[in-house]
Amino acid sequence: MSLRTALLIVAVGAAALAALATWAYLAGYLYFLLNQAAPRHIDSGTWYLYWQAYGEDRAQRWRLIAAAAIPPLIISAAIVFALAGKQRPLYGDARWATEREIRDAGLL
């Protein structure tokens, strides 16, 4: 394995761990918001702790699932909208120049 491949694997692993920690933090924050509580003292393990404590309660389980599902949906939607951008015309957007555009270009 080359050094470049090893560095790529390490970078992808680090990015995956950072994404997982970010997701866990956001899920804990959203869980507090869904319960209409002030989100204080949140870390990346908050959601998991509340899942273990309240996962059996039906109402809390749905709030925990919603809190876990919302961050990936928001990030996915943001990526789709960012990549979509402005749609290019299929055959270009050529048109005939107006008389003023021809005059301004100094062709008349």
pLDDT digits (tens, 9 = 90+) for 33-67: 998 988 888 888 889 999 999 989 898 999 999 99
The amino acid at 37 = A
- Total structural domains in the chain? 1
* 37 lies in some domain: yes
* 15 lies in some domain: yes
* 102 lies in some domain: no
C-alpha count within 13 angstroms, C-beta hemisphere, residue 21: 7
Question: And the tokens for 99?
Answer: 């008389």
Residue with tokens 């039906």: 58
What's the domain range around 38?
A: 3-86
Tell me which H or E stretch contains 26: helix 3-34
Q: How confident is the model at residue 10 (pLDDT cuts 50, 70, 90)?
A: very high
Question: And the tokens for 69?
Answer: 């599902």
Phi, psi of 16 (to 5 degrees): -65, -40
* 101 lies in some domain: no
Q: What is the pTM of this model?
A: 0.66
Q: What does the pLDDT read at residue 64?
A: 93
SS3 of residue 96 by DSSP: coil
